[in-house]
Structure formats: structure tokens, C-alpha cells
């Protein structure tokens, strides 16, 4: 399985960006796919997850109400719509995939993922 993240860029505070994670491979449609982010000097932080078949989403506390994760099974993509961005959202954003189906809390830890995409930089200017 390969994951390809795209959509990062530079945006002013209050603006929006949409990230996309494209999954390829035989079992891609069965993956739970999440977004994590990592700012310089900080640990990798859980942002959101879409559990895959059967649905189920979860969000990190700092993004809940501003970010929305969605899935297009026909295209094997998971999007992260980010609204009301602020400078604290500046980070490299990674998508990650996990085979199988678990409780939503399982997906909060970056250690539990089987696949990672390359990061995409999001920079929010004040």
C-alpha cells in the first residue's frame, strides 16, 4: 500500500486548505486512514481519522470543529478540510494507514499505523 499526501501550502490566518491522501494497493479500501501533524521541535500530533468501511471518525482536540475528514471510496482518497486556520496549525501533515478495524481511540497513536505517506507542509501566516 502506498499513500500520497497533497494539498499543503501557505495560507493566511482564518483561511482554509484542503489536504488529500490518495491510497493505492490491493487493500487500500480497507484501511483506516488518519492525519497527523508535526511542527518543528514538537511531537507528532493526531489530527483526525476515518476508520474506513463502516465509517467512524475522530478528531484531535485542537482541531475539532474546524477540520473535517471525509472519504471517497471510489477514488480511494481521504480528504482533510481545514477551516479557520491559525498559525498554531503550521506543521508538516502526514497521512497514515492502518489495516483492520479497531476502536477509534486505537487510531490516536502514531505507533499503531502500518503505512505512512510523505508529509505536506502547511504554513499559516498571522
Indicate the length of the chain as a whole number. 126
Q: Please report the pLDDT score of residue 55 as a whole number.
A: 81
Q: Please report the pLDDT score of residue 61 as a whole number.
A: 96
- 10-residue stretch averages of pLDDT, the chain, 126 residues long: 96 98 83 96 97 88 97 92 98 96 94 96 97
Q: Please report the pLDDT score of residue 89 as a whole number.
A: 98
Look at residues 123, 126, 121 and name the one whose alpha carbon lies nearest to residue 14: 126
Distance CA 84, CA 95 (A): 21
- Report how far apart, in Å, the C-alpha atoms of 112 and of each of 25, 100, 105, 116, 117 are: 19, 11, 11, 11, 14
Residue whose grid cell is 514538537? 42
Q: Please report the pLDDT score of residue 28 as a whole number.
A: 73
Residue 54: half-sphere exposure toward Cβ, Cα within 13 Å: 9
- Report how far apart, in Å, the C-alpha atoms of 114 and of each of 23, 81, 89, 90 are: 13, 24, 25, 25
Q: Please report the pLDDT score of residue 92 as a whole number.
A: 98
Amino acid at each position: 500500500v502506498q499513500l500520497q499526501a497533497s494539498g499543503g501550502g501557505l495560507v493566511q490566518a482564518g483561511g482554509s486548505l484542503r489536504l488529500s491522501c490518495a491510497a493505492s494497493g490491493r487493500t487500500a479500501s480497507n484501511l483506516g486512514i488518519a492525519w497527523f501533524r508535526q511542527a518543528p521541535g514538537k511531537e507528532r500530533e493526531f489530527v483526525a481519522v476515518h476508520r474506513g468501511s463502516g465509517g467512524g471518525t475522530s478528531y484531535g482536540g485542537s482541531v475539532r470543529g474546524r477540520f473535517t475528514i471525509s472519504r471517497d471510496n471510489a477514488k480511494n482518497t481521504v480528504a482533510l478540510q481545514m477551516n479557520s486556520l491559525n498559525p498554531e496549525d503550521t506543521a508538516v501533515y502526514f497521512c497514515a494507514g492502518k489495516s483492520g478495524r479497531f476502536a477509534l481511540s486505537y487510531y490516536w497513536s502514531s505507533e499503531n499505523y502500518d503505512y505512512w505517506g510523505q508529509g505536506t507542509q502547511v504554513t499559516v501566516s498571522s
